[in-house]
Amino acid sequence: MSDQPISRREFLRLSATLAAGSVLAACAPAATPVPTAAPTKAAAMSATAVPATTAAAMACSKGDICIKPTSVKLPKGAVTFRLLDSGDVKGVYWKKFFELYQKSYPNITCQYDGLGWNEIAKIVPLGVQNGNAHDCFSIPLGISPAQAIQEGWIRPLDDLIPDLDKVKAAFPPMSFVEGINMFGGKTYTFPLGTNQRSNTMLLFNQEQMQKAGYDPIGKPFTWDDFRAAAKKITEQGAGKYFGIIDGGAQLPRWGFLIGDLMRLNGGVSYVNATGAEGFLDLRKGEYIFTNDNYIGAIELLLAMKADGSFFPGFMSLNALQARANMGQGNAGMMLQGLWCIDTWRAENPNFKYAVALTPTQKGGGTYSPLHASAGGNVEWWLYAKSKVPEIVADIFCLRGTLEGQYAWNKIAGLGNPGIFPQAIETASDIPSDLKSLEMQFKMFRVGPTLAVRNPDIVKVDLERKAPTPSVEQVIQGLMSGQITGVKQAMQGVKDAYDKELDRALKAAKDKGANVSRDDYVFPNWDLTKDYTEADYKAIKK
């Protein structure tokens, strides 16, 4: 990708050019003639037309789920295939997908389970222990893919997809990386979604915002604007609605809120090895908790709470309940992800929402970009003892094409955009929603990924335990008033996290891992740019 922040249009054009040729070849049976690719949408569309020779020929227009043969050899006998993930809009997609899949392959029975992460945490390990885990599952959140491989939970896809390299070439650059979706040179999963999703877009109630006299889209908020707007909305609501809401009982929310408010200020950024939340400034390898911007973000929310701008009872709400209240018009603003929109459109058709940039200290739409790890969003893994691994491979292949991504985006793209940026247009039929997605894409860069530089870093993650209290818990405690003194509290958090990281490093080293605290330092990282392979090479001694 280019060095300069690029506009989405440019980006789409670029990636389409890159992708089109290979996308169409991807996972296609060898016999299928590949039409000459052209970097236009029309060509992409016409190319999706199924050759007459294929069995499951059906008319697929853009955004339809289209089941056609891939290079994967599917089982012939009657088999059952089971897939488990964390549900929600993903479930909507899978149910539809499996219905069609079963129709195309009557010998395959599909079973989908969408469960909460708490259940996944128990079910997957027990299923593996018992030899009957789902054929395709999400790895529980506390467990890293490296750990899952070490435990023999999951297996690679390499021998299942004959033209794997070709398939992978269709993906955007830096999609397949060691330590995220590849381990020991083998490909374990496809990054079918993007991980460049903001958890903290400013979602607001248009009417209430207008009445308060603010326009966060035309004039993006500073922190002060944000606070003042929340206060104003609360005042005009006179008890009927409030300035801001969030799910204060849902601990991870606090990490996202404070982290993003801080990061967008050009403070620092962080991406840890597995792409989960980490809190290290990877330019210096230091924890960010005592950073002025971090403390400032906590103090901002504390001040807004003192103003009385928060929805009463927000401390005992989870994100879902906060979202529902927002849809009811009970609060003017919320910092959450674009996935809320799906719910509102289904449940609150009269609610006029709008999306703006997350407030930043300077405001005016200037911000330091957010960063995601390389390797996209990896959600689905192939169970090591699956009796039908081919089906998992087949599904990955189907979804890893442009038309597969169109179909995914059409159902789930607003909340969980696919990884092909050029397929985003099906995510919504409302121009403003697409604009919001564009804004979100623009906010992100690919950050340095620890495991890409030193794969041994996953061994440190195996040793790491979250300190108690975690940073999220401490922020919650500050917000609820159980802890006072932001600076002191955050110093305590920093000390605890430092201690734990050093302990984990030592433990990993004792077990033979070649790691050090220096692996967490990327001095040549320019926050405004993608961290590319060249950058990794530059810091290699």
What residues from 208 to 267 belong to the interface with another protein (CB under 8 A)? 242, 248-252
Tell the smallest beta-carbon distance from residue 329 to another protein (Å).
10
Instruction: Answer yes or no whether residue 275 interacts with another protein by CB under 8 A.
Output: no
Instruction: Answer yes or no whether residue 338 interacts with another protein by CB under 8 A.
Output: no
Q: Of 11, 98, 190, 314, which lies in the binding site for another protein, with binding defined by CB under 8 A?
A: 314
Size of the site for another protein (CB under 8 A): 80
Q: Between helices 292-306 and 486-510, what is the axis angle to 10°?
A: 140
Q: Of 34, 49, 55, 320, which lies in the binding site for another protein, with binding defined by CB under 8 A?
A: 320
Instruction: Answer yes or no whether residue 523 interacts with another protein by CB under 8 A.
Output: no
Q: Of 302, 324, 354, 507, which lies in the binding site for another protein, with binding defined by CB under 8 A?
A: 324
Let me know: does 242 contact 311? Beta carbons within 8 Å: yes
DSSP 423: G
Tell the smallest beta-carbon distance from residue 53 to another protein (Å).
37
Give, for 98, the enclosing helix (H) or strand (E). Answer: helix 89-104
83 in the Ramachandran plot: left (φ > 0), alpha (ψ -120 to 50) or beta? beta
Give, for 109, the enclosing helix (H) or strand (E). Answer: strand 108-114
User: Which is it for strands 136-137 and 79-85: parallel, antiparallel or unpaired?
Assistant: parallel
Tell the smallest beta-carbon distance from residue 477 to another protein (Å).
3
Q: Of 8, 62, 68, 82, which lies in the binding site for another protein, with binding defined by CB under 8 A?
A: 82
Q: Is 438 exposed, middle or buried (0-12, 13-18, 19+ CB in 10 A)?
A: middle
Distance CA 57, CA 52 (A): 7
Residue placing its CB nearer to another protein in the complex, 72 or 341:
341
Q: Which of 57, 407, 449 is nearest to 276 (CA)?
A: 449
**Binding mask 481-520 vs another protein (x if CB under 8 A, - otherwise)?**
xxx-------------------------------------
Query: Mapping DSSP to helix (H, G, I), strand (E, B) and coil, where does residue 102 land?
Result: helix
Residue placing its CB nearer to another protein in the complex, 284 or 345:
345
From the list 29-37, 98-106, 398-406, 468-476, the region that binds another protein by CB under 8 A is 468-476
Residue placing its CB nearer to another protein in the complex, 170 or 201:
201
Tell the smallest beta-carbon distance from residue 239 to another protein (Å).
9
Instruction: Answer yes or no whether residue 464 interacts with another protein by CB under 8 A.
Output: yes
- Phi first, then psi: give them for residue 244, nearest 5 degrees: -145, 150
Instruction: Answer yes or no whether residue 91 interacts with another protein by CB under 8 A.
Output: yes
Alpha carbon distances (Å) from 535 to 11, 231, 318, 347, 487 = 21, 45, 40, 46, 35
Tell the smallest beta-carbon distance from residue 201 to another protein (Å).
14
Instruction: Answer yes or no whether residue 197 interacts with another protein by CB under 8 A.
Output: no
Q: Of 156, 243, 267, 327, which lies in the binding site for another protein, with binding defined by CB under 8 A?
A: 327
Token pair recorded at residue 284: 């210096």
From the list 6-14, 39-47, 390-398, 465-473, the region that binds another protein by CB under 8 A is 465-473
Residue placing its CB nearer to another protein in the complex, 26 or 486:
486
Residue placing its CB nearer to another protein in the complex, 27 or 128:
128
Q: Of 11, 221, 294, 311, which lies in the binding site for another protein, with binding defined by CB under 8 A?
A: 311
Angle (CA) 49-50-52 rounded to 5° is: 125
Q: Which residues contact 468 (CB under 8 A, 6 or more apart)?
A: none
Let me know: does 228 contact 263? Beta carbons within 8 Å: no
Residue placing its CB nearer to another protein in the complex, 56 or 92:
92
Residue placing its CB nearer to another protein in the complex, 175 or 436:
436
Strand ranges in 342-423 using DSSP code E only, listed in sequence order: 353-356, 370-372, 381-382
Distance CA 445, CA 429 (A): 26
Tell the smallest beta-carbon distance from residue 349 to another protein (Å).
9
Residue placing its CB nearer to another protein in the complex, 137 or 204:
137
Distance CA 67, CA 46 (A): 16
Distance CA 443, CA 13 (A): 18
Instruction: Answer yes or no whether residue 302 interacts with another protein by CB under 8 A.
Output: no
Let me know: does 251 contact 473? Beta carbons within 8 Å: yes
Residue placing its CB nearer to another protein in the complex, 242 or 408:
242
Q: Is 511 exposed, middle or buried (0-12, 13-18, 19+ CB in 10 A)?
A: exposed
Residue placing its CB nearer to another protein in the complex, 104 or 348:
348
Q: Which of 461, 518, 419 is nearest to 179 (CA)?
A: 461
Instruction: Answer yes or no whether residue 63 interacts with another protein by CB under 8 A.
Output: no
**Binding mask 104-143 vs another protein (x if CB under 8 A, - otherwise)?**
-------x-xxxxxxx-xxx-xxx-xx-xxx-----xxxx
**Binding mask 402-431 vs another protein (x if CB under 8 A, - otherwise)?**
-------------x----------------
Tell the smallest beta-carbon distance from residue 125 to another protein (Å).
4
Residue placing its CB nearer to another protein in the complex, 34 or 466:
466
Residue placing its CB nearer to another protein in the complex, 88 or 535:
88
Distance CA 136, CA 133 (A): 8
Residue placing its CB nearer to another protein in the complex, 414 or 451:
414
Q: Of 9, 465, 537, 541, which lies in the binding site for another protein, with binding defined by CB under 8 A?
A: 465
Q: Which of 165, 342, 335 is nearest to 244 (CA)?
A: 335
